Structures are given as C-alpha cells and as structure tokens.
Amino acid sequence: MYPLVYGGNVPNTQQGFTGDDSRYCIDGSLDKTLVNGTIVLCDALDTGEEPLNAGAVGTVMQDDRFLDVAFSFPLPTSYLDLNDGSEVYTYINTTSEPTAIIEKSTEIKDELAPYVVSFSSRGPNPITSDILKVTAMLFLSSSPMTAATNTDAEFAYGSGHIDPVKAVNAGLVYDAGVSDYIKFLCGQGYSDKSLRLVTGDNSSFCSVTNNATVWDLNYPSFALSSSAKSKSVTRVFHRTVTNVGSAVSVYKATVAAPPGFTVAVEPSVLSFKATGQKISFVVSVSGVVSESVGSGSLVWDDGVHQARSPIVAFVASSD
C-alpha cells in the first residue's frame, strides 16, 4: 500500500501554485516533496505526466469525460467517474493516513470494437447522404468488420482498423483533386459565389461541363440511400484508381453485395502496365433496402494488395 494524497492538498507553493491549480495536476503544480512515493488524486483526466514528474508511483483521476476512448499513461493510473472519485476524496480527507494500491487492469474484449468514439460525428452524412463520411473511408484491413458485429455498421466503425504496414504499400489509390471537388460542389447546387468562398479562387464557376453527381466523386467508398425500407434504388458510381504498386499488375474485383442488392463492376479486371497509370471503372448497385443499414464491399486484389472499399445501402433519416 502507498500513501494517498489529494492534488489540491499538495500545491507547489514555491512556484506560486495554489490548491486551485494543483487539484487538476497541471504541469509544475505539485509539490515533489509531498507527492514523491504517493498515489495522487487529480480532479481531471490528463496525461499523467505531472504526477510522474513529481515522483508519484500512481495516480487516480476523477472526471466525467467519455469512457469509450482509450488513453495510455506513463504510470499506474485509475480513472473514476465523479461519484466514485468523490468517495476517494472523502476517504483522503477523513482518514489520518490514507493509503491505496492500483491493481493491474483486467482486460476485456469489446465485441463491438472498433467503432467511432461517441463524441465524433457518425454517419450518415446529414447534408449529402450518399457520401460515406471520412470516418468510413478506404482502409486496408486484415479483418474487415461487418454489420453482424455492430448494428451501426460503417457509420460507427468505418472499414475497420487501418493496417499501417499495408497502407504504405497500398497498390491502388483513389485520387481526388480540386477539380473533382468543384464538380461535386457544383452538382450539389453551389452558386458561383458559394463555390468561390470554398476554393478561394474568384475564377471558379459552375457550368454544364463541371457539374457532377455525388456518386461520381472519386471517393473510395460507395453509399446509396433510400427514403424508406422496401423501396427500390439504383445507383451508378464512376471511379478511377491509380496504380502505385508494381508497374505490371492485374487486379480482379471481388464483390460482396449488401443484403437485397446486386453489384456489377465493369470492367471487373484492371490491367496496369505502368506505375502511375490510371484506369476507370463503373460500379452499378441496385436492389431494395431491407435493413436500416446494409453492408457490402468491393475489393481489388492482385494477389499481393487488397484495396477494399465499403458499399453501404441505408435508409436516410427524414429529420
């Protein structure tokens, strides 16, 4: 067991700090002489650097922050909500020699992981429903997630965890430049004035030639919405991929269609002869939305690289 102290009771007064500062364990606020060898209670979720620098052997943090995001700390740490933290505070201030120990954490498996943290914006996109938001962009995942594990599907977890090793050797990429987004914004009904506010270029304007649908933005995902269940919907997506892998390579399409849908890819084989070469293809998706969210995927595979894009069919909210 180790002595347990409250950060607000051990301010670094020599440096001008008071208990109002040290209670939060901000940088430099703790008295090293009083904190050394103790476990210190802090009134905020923080990095743990200040208790460590002050010589603490551990820290207890109390706060009402989100519980579905992971943190790592440089010393043994216990994070409590305000109710439990209040009990620790009371114990410290009503006991002559309060002590504590921080046990090793018990690891649990979250069957719904991975998913977007609760304070992040989930899909579907409320402005442009047929864009699968950035949280669900293309990832190179060794074990793609499915709606069977999380009912919010790609709107909660994107395409799964990114594989950083594969990401630096992607094989294929979906490039989208300024002109692509101008076409997209024009297709969304932006006026020339609004468009110029976005581009910062007073020469930008919309015309018949640069007006594209949302389904033609060169995004590495495919989303189609329906206003209601059991309603037929068809979408055609135009995409272009750039070869960033082997100069000579052949990619074959593997499709998993969302429930109740058929997916056709044309061409279904992409044959590259040079690095940097671009090839366009068309994805046609049609069917009936039978679930609130239906998940599928398109994978381009050359035997080495697997570039996976989610295909999501869903019922758009009427709100």
Residues 144 and 81 placed together within one structural domain of the fold: no
Looking up tokens 């209601």 gives 228
- Residues 309, 300: Cα–Cα separation, whole Å: 9
Full residue range of the structural domain in which residue 48 is found: 2-100
- Residues 310, 174: Cα–Cα separation, whole Å: 13
pLDDT of residue 167: 78
What pTM value is reported for the model? 0.66
Look at residues 47, 81, 100 and tell me which one is the last residue of a structural domain.
100
180 located within any domain = no
Residues 17 and 94 placed together within one structural domain of the fold: yes
pLDDT of residue 317: 66
**Checking DSSP bridges between strand 172-173 and strand 261-266, what pairing results, if any?**
unpaired
Do 273 and 282 contact (CB within 8 A), yes or no? Answer: no
On the question of a cis peptide bond just before residue 267, with omega within 30 degrees of 0, the verdict is yes
Query: What phi-psi label fits residue 55: left (phi over 0), alpha (psi between -120 and 50 degrees) or beta?
Result: left
213 located within any domain = no
Residues 293 and 239 placed together within one structural domain of the fold: yes
Residues 156 and 261 placed together within one structural domain of the fold: yes
Do 51 and 102 contact (CB within 8 A), yes or no? Answer: no
Residues 16 and 148 placed together within one structural domain of the fold: no
Residues 141 and 88 placed together within one structural domain of the fold: no
Residues 270 and 163 placed together within one structural domain of the fold: yes
What's the CATH number where 144 sits? 2.60.40.2310
pLDDT of residue 145: 36
E strands, the chain, are 2-6, 39-42, 58-62, 77-80, 99-100, 172-173, 222-226, 232-243, 249-256, 261-266, 269-272, 278-288, 293-301, 306-315
Tally of structural domains, the chain: 2
Q: What is the pLDDT along the chain (319 residues), one digit of tens a residue?
A: 999 999 999 999 999 999 999 999 999 999 999 999 999 999 999 999 999 999 999 999 999 987 777 788 999 999 999 999 999 999 999 999 999 999 988 888 877 776 667 777 666 777 787 877 644 543 343 333 333 445 667 776 665 667 778 778 889 999 988 999 999 999 989 999 999 999 999 999 999 888 888 898 998 889 888 888 878 899 999 999 999 999 999 999 999 999 999 999 999 999 999 999 999 999 999 999 887 888 899 999 999 998 888 899 888 765 5
3-state percent breakdown (helix, strand, coil) of the chain, nearest 5:
20, 30, 50
Residues 152 and 91 placed together within one structural domain of the fold: no
Residues 171 and 94 placed together within one structural domain of the fold: no
- 131: β partners: none
Residues 6 and 152 placed together within one structural domain of the fold: no
Residues 6 and 144 placed together within one structural domain of the fold: no
